[in-house]
A and B are shown apart, each in its own frame.
Chain A
Amino acid sequence: GAGVSQSPSNKVTEKGKDVELRCDPISGHTALYWYRQSLGQGLEFLIYFQGNSAPDKSGLPSDRFSAERTGGSVSTLTIQRTQQEDSAVYLCASSLDTVTRQYFGPGTRLTVT
């Protein structure tokens, strides 16, 4: 079956612009995670959605970052007023519930010029 999909695969934007990154989780997966993968920093947790519960936003690095998940399925990560340090690969993962393996999408490579 289909895995986790993310779009766009690559995004180049100018400093100060807003960007939206999309994640389509595996159908039926109730848990959804966003991570950021930066050179030299490894992967870091950003935000977590589980069903209809309030999201865990504890990993968001600044108030320029926000995310939503509509209808318990598709999620959008929005970065406002992008900065060069936002350049990274943004990964989305989903899992069937809170205790099973996380399946990752291919990521969106964001480059801020």
Chain B
Amino acid sequence: QQQVKQSPQSLIVQKGGISIINCAYENTAFDYFPWYQQFPGKGPALLIAIRPDVSEKKEGRFTISFNKSAKQFSLHIMDSQPGDSATYFCAASRSGNNRKLIWGLGTSLAVNP
């Protein structure tokens, strides 16, 4: 079963708008929650990440909101730009020697000019 569930599958936003992508997880052993951005033909690139000891992290126009009790986290992209059009993946990993990432299925974001 999908350990990290991501929604929506696709999203269309107008330039200047707010893009919101949500993820939910089941495994309470997860302690690291990154968001990756992927452009066509490229590998995923880390956008922002959070650990469960904080409820929010902001870097520029990108914010992660984390709700530990609900086992949910979300990515907010403020003032969305056409250059933000990409596929976004949430992921999670647990503590231990192998920090393998467990991935959501991705959200295809299109920002209209």
Contact = CB atoms under 8 A, between A and B. Distances in A.
A102 B91 CA distance: 12
B101 A43 contact: yes
B43 A48 contact: no
Interface in A40-86: 40-45, 48, 50, 53, 56, 59
Interface residues of A, number: 27
Task: Name the interface size band of chain B.
Answer: 20 to 34
B97 interface: yes
Contact of A91 (B34, B44, B49, B97): B44
A88 to B, nearest CB: 13
B89 interface: yes
Interface of B: 34, 36, 41-46, 49, 89, 91, 96-106
18 contacts: A41-B105, A42-B89, A42-B103, A42-B106, A43-B89, A45-B100, A50-B98, A53-B97, A56-B98, A56-B100, A91-B43, A91-B44, A99-B99, A101-B49, A102-B46, A102-B99, A104-B36, A104-B44
